[in-house]
Amino acid sequence: MTDPHRALSTLLAGPTGLGTSAARLGARLTEVPLPDPGPGAGDSDPAYTYRTWGDGSASPLYCPVTERINDPLGEEVDRRLIAWAGEVGFDEQEAEQLGKAGFGRLVMLAHPDCEDPDRLLISAKLNAAWWAADDLYADDTALGAVPEKLPPRLALAMAAMDPVPPAGEFSRELDETLRGDRVLVALRSGVDHLRQYGSPAQVQRVNYSTFTMFVSWNAYAAWQHNDDPPPAWEYLAARQHDSFYTSMTLIDVLGGYELTANLFYEPRVRRAAIQAGTASVLVNDLHSVAKDLADENPPANMVLQVAADRSCPIEEATEITVDLHNQIVRDFQRTHRALEPVASAELQRFLHGLRAWMGGGFEWHSTSPRYQ
């Protein structure tokens, strides 16, 4: 019987020559069925473990281990982030709050293959800008979030990240607006920093994943504006495109390599990335329950949607969400294992990066003052 791993490797060898490698890998991945290791495979993998969280009263989360904790590196990135926040227009108190949130620590934990604080600062800036847009535009009514104003605000956010060509006199007010809103300035500055290290394809990958995320934000705003909270299944469908997947699009940029578009968007690779992003954002939802309940107009949250759907206590909805998270992590583990035979060093490094991001993201949520 032919070894399916060997057959895949042989086919992946394919044609040779300048410019053929990306097309060869992208095409062959879709033609050859990869072996499924089966349910429960990999549970003894030392890269994963059960991790307690919160006050320890809920069931543990099955999650990758945290690969690196280098607090001096995280502190240096946070120091640079605070300085940048002042430069783009956040006031002293807001800049200090960004520093206390520890986005520098987040990217240090989530990108263990990057030791360069300037590269890490790309992700810290963009994550801080995304969070600022989420809080100030979408989620936190105490900070000025107004659901019916969100869509036009996000349209301007897209123009800040992906500048539109000049349109004569009609560009003047746009330019003034983009310079006058600290969130828009932060988004543009973050992408400008990204351009120093990322290829045009990597930059647009980040932009378009962000814009997809914005579509989900508009769905949340419509639910809030109409006072029509979604069932959990509909919320999760939107949440899978509004997840830490967006942050994970930076993995190869910070790592100093590039995963080609044909591999990045290959269905099974994208499946793995969406699984990793969704698992990580469920960790966020679990840690955000108390904060979200304190809002006079609570944002959508998987735990809250499950509790509403099933008329059950928060504790029961929490257990259901923990179980869903653990199932998705195991699905990612199987997807990752099935892709291990693919002979691409960049792909294997990227998949490792997805796993590392989940482990680092869990650590950050467990220690960030934002969620305490």
- For residue 296, what pLDDT is reported? 76
39 φ, ψ to 5°? Answer: -60, 140
DSSP state of 114: -
pLDDT tens digits, one per residue of 282-316: 999 999 998 888 877 777 899 999 999 999 999 99
Query: pLDDT category, 22, cuts 50, 70, 90?
Result: very low
Stretch among 12-26, 33-47, 177-191, 321-335 having the lowest mean pLDDT? 12-26
Provide the residue ranges of all domains of the chain, joining segments of one domain with +.
Answer: 40-371
- For residue 19, what pLDDT is reported? 40
Mean pLDDT of 217-232: 89
Residues 6+ apart with CB under 8 A from 75: 104, 105
CATH second-level architecture of 40-371? Answer: Orthogonal Bundle (1.10)
Structure tokens at 58: 């809920």
246 φ, ψ to 5°? Answer: -60, -45
Give the number of C-alpha atoms closer than 13 A to the C-alpha of residue 163, restricted to the C-beta side. 15
Q: Look at residues 312, 258, 358 and name the one whose alpha carbon lies nearest to residue 45.
A: 358
Alpha carbon 221 to its chain centroid, in Å, reads 20
Task: Say if residues 88 and 185 touch (Cβ distance below 8 Å).
Answer: yes
- For residue 89, what pLDDT is reported? 95
pLDDT tens digits, one per residue of 106-153: 999 999 999 999 999 999 999 999 999 988 887 665 666 677 789 999
pLDDT tens digits, one per residue of 53-90: 999 999 999 999 999 999 999 999 999 999 999 999 99
The structure tokens 């990758």 sit at 64
